[in-house]
Chain A
């Protein structure tokens, strides 16, 4: 009864009759799938239903019926295995196989929860997500047939024909094969749906292992390294497959050898156990030593002859617990500002970490190394051009995927180099034997075109408030900077020279500097991914710029701001005369270009731009997650606050009660940092010094007692820090 209300019964009847007519297991040999008489026509009809009913009316009814009829696992996969196992190739069979693929692709197509959604879609999506996982499980299953390999086989004839002789049909088949692989890489069990307990079979590890076993990686490598020659229109699909394979995978861990990885895992377990025991110890410290009804109550004597009462034995111990308890017993919470629901597609999320088992790590690493050696430059150069050209096959999401994938592979390349360096150092062979590799392998994304592309994309994302895009771009920029930094230390002179050049170009444009500042200042509630990416970018950018400007004392930057003002002035003059003077935007830009001036760069002044309440707030928000941050992230925050308080001498910016409170909690708890870690020592020292400075300042300037409550006003910050106004010298 419920079934009939979900889908129009007539549609269901039609679809079911087609599935039944397709064929089945019967006859004398029950293991063998027997094709129906008109199987090919049935397959084509099913495809037509999907296209002319579902697609046309933006419904998912047919897809749902096919899911309920178990078409994929019950019919299509058995047909494909008959095709794979049959010794002689008939034209009929290969047509049938292709028809299967043509249905498999739309059936596994990602379900996007955005754009225009009908009530019908919402009704079907959870069910279809579930059946997608079932499809993937069937396709990856270790049955007699490698289905992925079979699918590739369908595409092989088209692939073998040279590009010039390929018909539209051939290109279409190639596209189908790649999209099928993309869909398989993409499907992940939805965490919001009930778990069935066998997620392992459809996990990323299982996907990677199947890709390795059934030569999908080999196919990808071949195609990637020949992008531009033999394969032109497939670049975006290849990018998507790579994106879904590597997103969320921890690069560092991937490039460890097995012993390191086990050691790391043991370390982590050790860490976790220690964390747990310290939690327990902290609890035990404050836990009641007597039974729950022992009934202790104390008074806290306050001024104006007032008293507060606090109950529980733990409060007897010290003031801090008492105060903590007084606070905890309050029921009211400040109403929280709720961020509106983020985009519901989990497919393009790359902030969630993914764990791989050791076999999958090994396989993926091998693939990544081979890809870096052969496919990186051709693929990414080609994709970049396609996106810039706004080719038909490109969709919006591709540029985000591009930047994320580039950043991931750049990081992988750096990790690989680090590993090689280590190996070389261990083997202690004379240096001449091994030729140092140049950075040519990743040069495809280190050219001027890419920088222009990246800069424009970043500016666009900032302007249109597309934070996920911006996160991917920030990560990409950070990785480029780090790669360049590694290049500077390369033993090859050529690499050093190129690195010098690139740095020159990156740091020459003042607009880049201003954009980085704007991004850090611009944090409001974009989430942790943004915080992490923008703090890392700031950290890396500042440090590299500092070093670079020290080495190049007479560094110049191209500033545009002054030029603009001048331009406005001139415009103001001509405004009255005629309106034709207002040229197009391009002309404005040209004008600005011509007017732009170079001026010498002063790092101190630049760093001072990061010294404002907004940047501090961003880093404070980041530090609030201190319990989940790793050592590298804690170090990043530490360096920043150190810079604020001692290098730039703007400690006043940190003198706000919530910041002081946060720092105090980090060191003294409850919920303090793990005191056995070396980073704890750094933080303790920093907090101690800041507090020392604070107490001193409070003595000198009692007005700070009130100012502690607020963010500082620009007009008074300088006075609070130095005790005199910026312009006037102290007269006494």
Chain B
């Protein structure tokens, strides 16, 4: 009969089981509309992505084979590669968990929501010529 009242090394203590699972970040509307989401995309896309602009030419001169007749070809495909890379980095910043294709699919799905649709229309209207929007 061992009736030692003092617990040894806390063996007899009840183990506390935490009820809540760890919070998993979700790619939802609010995340998409947060500062690192679409606002950032709108801000940076113009500056960072110079497709066929002056910056592009400089960039390409280092790589391009001047004698290749397909130079124009390469140029266009490098354009789209840069475009895709830009979005991949943006998405990686926004939601590092998802792969590129998965992330795109999730965002596309969000685009069907009411809130995003109104936002999207606003962004487009912003860019329309003033006279035109006034007309409508």
Q: Which A residues are closer than 8 A to B by beta carbons?
A: 302-303, 306, 308, 319-320, 323, 326-328, 330, 332-334, 656-658, 660-661, 664, 667-668, 688, 691-692, 694-695, 698-699, 701-703, 705-711, 713, 715-716, 719-720, 724-725, 728, 730-732
| A residues near B107, Cβ cutoff 8 Å | 709-710
Chain A at the B interface: SS class:
helix
| B residues near A692, Cβ cutoff 8 Å | 76
| A residues near B128, Cβ cutoff 8 Å | 719
- The answer to whether B102 and A334 have CB atoms under 8 Å apart is yes
Counting chain B CB atoms within 10 Å of each CB, the highest count among A668, A691, A695, A698 belongs to A695
Cβ-neighbour of A657 out of B79, B104, B132 (below 8 A): B104
Contact A319-B85, Cβ < 8 Å, known A667-B77, A703-B123 = yes
Counting chain B CB atoms within 10 Å of each CB, the highest count among A319, A334, A658, A730 belongs to A334
B60-103 to A contact mask, C-beta < 8 Å, 1/0: 00000000000001001101110111011100110011111110
Cβ-neighbour of A658 out of B73, B89, B105, B120 (below 8 A): B105
- The answer to whether B132 and A724 have CB atoms under 8 Å apart is yes
Contact A319-B81, Cβ < 8 Å, known A327-B88, A716-B120 = yes
Contact A725-B123, Cβ < 8 Å, known A327-B88, A668-B77, A711-B111 = no
Contact A691-B38, Cβ < 8 Å, known A657-B87, A716-B121 = no
Q: Can you report 18 residue pairs joining A to B where beta carbons are below 8 Å apart?
A: A319-B85, A326-B92, A657-B104, A658-B104, A658-B105, A661-B100, A661-B104, A688-B76, A691-B79, A698-B49, A698-B51, A705-B46, A706-B38, A709-B111, A710-B111, A716-B124, A724-B132, A728-B135
| B residues near A694, Cβ cutoff 8 Å | 80
- The answer to whether B120 and A710 have CB atoms under 8 Å apart is yes
Minimal Cβ-Cβ distance residue in B for A304: B93
Give Cα A668–Cα B97 distance, bound, in whole angstroms. Answer: 26
- The answer to whether A658 and B108 have CB atoms under 8 Å apart is yes
- The answer to whether B108 and A709 have CB atoms under 8 Å apart is yes
B44, CB-defined interface residue at 8 Å: yes
| B residues near A715, Cβ cutoff 8 Å | 121
**Minimal beta-carbon separation of B107 from chain A (angstroms):** 5
Give Cα A126–Cα B100 distance, bound, in whole angstroms. Answer: 43
- The answer to whether A695 and B79 have CB atoms under 8 Å apart is yes
Give Cα A695–Cα B81 distance, bound, in whole angstroms. Answer: 12
**Minimal beta-carbon separation of A662 from chain B (angstroms):** 9
- The answer to whether B80 and A660 have CB atoms under 8 Å apart is yes
**Minimal beta-carbon separation of B69 from chain A (angstroms):** 14
Give Cα A328–Cα B89 distance, bound, in whole angstroms. Answer: 14
- The answer to whether A664 and B124 have CB atoms under 8 Å apart is no
- The answer to whether A323 and B88 have CB atoms under 8 Å apart is yes
Give Cα A699–Cα B115 distance, bound, in whole angstroms. Answer: 27
Minimal Cβ-Cβ distance residue in A for B50: A699
| B residues near A661, Cβ cutoff 8 Å | 84, 100-101, 104
Give Cα A595–Cα B100 distance, bound, in whole angstroms. Answer: 53
Contact A691-B132, Cβ < 8 Å, known A326-B92, A710-B111, A711-B112 = no
Minimal Cβ-Cβ distance residue in A for B86: A705
**Minimal beta-carbon separation of A651 from chain B (angstroms):** 14
> 4 smallest A-B Cβ distances: which pairs?
A710-B111, A334-B102, A705-B45, A703-B124
**Minimal beta-carbon separation of A724 from chain B (angstroms):** 7
| A residues near B77, Cβ cutoff 8 Å | 664, 667-668, 688, 691
Minimal Cβ-Cβ distance residue in B for A668: B77
- The answer to whether A664 and B84 have CB atoms under 8 Å apart is yes
**Apart from A668-B81, A688-B73, what are 14 other A-B pairs with CB-CB below 8 Å?**
A306-B93, A319-B81, A332-B98, A334-B99, A664-B81, A688-B77, A691-B79, A695-B51, A699-B52, A702-B46, A706-B120, A713-B120, A716-B120, A716-B124
| A residues near B131, Cβ cutoff 8 Å | 731-732
Contact A732-B121, Cβ < 8 Å, known A302-B89, A319-B85, A709-B104 = no
Cβ-neighbour of A330 out of B42, B97, B121, B127 (below 8 A): B97
Contact A660-B136, Cβ < 8 Å, known A334-B105, A668-B77 = no
- The answer to whether B79 and A327 have CB atoms under 8 Å apart is no
**Minimal beta-carbon separation of A470 from chain B (angstroms):** 26
- The answer to whether B92 and A656 have CB atoms under 8 Å apart is no
| B residues near A302, Cβ cutoff 8 Å | 89, 93
| B residues near A658, Cβ cutoff 8 Å | 101, 104-105, 108
- The answer to whether A664 and B120 have CB atoms under 8 Å apart is no
Cβ-neighbour of A327 out of B93, B99, B108 (below 8 A): B99
| B residues near A334, Cβ cutoff 8 Å | 98-99, 102, 105-106
Give Cα A629–Cα B69 distance, bound, in whole angstroms. Answer: 31
Give Cα A732–Cα B106 distance, bound, in whole angstroms. Answer: 39
Minimal Cβ-Cβ distance residue in B for A690: B80
| B residues near A730, Cβ cutoff 8 Å | 129, 132
Minimal Cβ-Cβ distance residue in A for B45: A705
| A residues near B34, Cβ cutoff 8 Å | none
**Minimal beta-carbon separation of A704 from chain B (angstroms):** 9
Cβ-neighbour of B42 out of A333, A699, A706, A713 (below 8 A): A706
- The answer to whether B127 and A660 have CB atoms under 8 Å apart is no
| B residues near A333, Cβ cutoff 8 Å | 99, 102
Minimal Cβ-Cβ distance residue in A for B135: A728
Cβ-neighbour of A323 out of B85, B104, B105 (below 8 A): B85
| A residues near B88, Cβ cutoff 8 Å | 323, 326-327
Minimal Cβ-Cβ distance residue in A for B131: A731
| A residues near B44, Cβ cutoff 8 Å | 303
- The answer to whether A660 and B121 have CB atoms under 8 Å apart is no
| B residues near A698, Cβ cutoff 8 Å | 49, 51
Minimal Cβ-Cβ distance residue in B for A701: B127
Cβ-neighbour of B132 out of A660, A699, A725 (below 8 A): A725
Give Cα A480–Cα B87 distance, bound, in whole angstroms. Answer: 46
| B residues near A319, Cβ cutoff 8 Å | 81, 85
| A residues near B97, Cβ cutoff 8 Å | 330, 332
Give Cα A708–Cα B80 distance, bound, in whole angstroms. Answer: 13
Give Cα A719–Cα B59 distance, bound, in whole angstroms. Answer: 33
Give Cα A326–Cα B87 distance, bound, in whole angstroms. Answer: 13
**Minimal beta-carbon separation of A98 from chain B (angstroms):** 62
| B residues near A326, Cβ cutoff 8 Å | 88, 92
- The answer to whether A728 and B132 have CB atoms under 8 Å apart is yes
B111-122 to A contact mask, C-beta < 8 Å, 1/0: 110001100110
Minimal Cβ-Cβ distance residue in A for B97: A332
| A residues near B87, Cβ cutoff 8 Å | 657, 708
- The answer to whether A719 and B45 have CB atoms under 8 Å apart is no
| A residues near B98, Cβ cutoff 8 Å | 330, 332, 334
| A residues near B92, Cβ cutoff 8 Å | 308, 326
Give Cα A660–Cα B107 distance, bound, in whole angstroms. Answer: 15
- The answer to whether A656 and B108 have CB atoms under 8 Å apart is yes
Give Cα A37–Cα B115 distance, bound, in whole angstroms. Answer: 86
Counting chain B CB atoms within 10 Å of each CB, the highest count among A699, A703, A732 belongs to A703
| A residues near B101, Cβ cutoff 8 Å | 658, 661
| B residues near A716, Cβ cutoff 8 Å | 120-121, 124
- The answer to whether A720 and B111 have CB atoms under 8 Å apart is no
Minimal Cβ-Cβ distance residue in A for B72: A688
| B residues near A725, Cβ cutoff 8 Å | 132, 136
Contact A731-B121, Cβ < 8 Å, known A657-B104, A688-B73, A705-B45 = no
- The answer to whether B76 and A327 have CB atoms under 8 Å apart is no
- The answer to whether A731 and B135 have CB atoms under 8 Å apart is yes
**Minimal beta-carbon separation of A717 from chain B (angstroms):** 10
| B residues near A709, Cβ cutoff 8 Å | 38, 104, 107-108, 111
- The answer to whether B124 and A720 have CB atoms under 8 Å apart is yes
Tell me the B35-57 residues at the A interface (CB within 8 Å).
38, 41-42, 44-46, 48-49, 51-52
- The answer to whether A719 and B124 have CB atoms under 8 Å apart is yes
**Minimal beta-carbon separation of A316 from chain B (angstroms):** 15
- The answer to whether B81 and A660 have CB atoms under 8 Å apart is no
**Minimal beta-carbon separation of A626 from chain B (angstroms):** 15
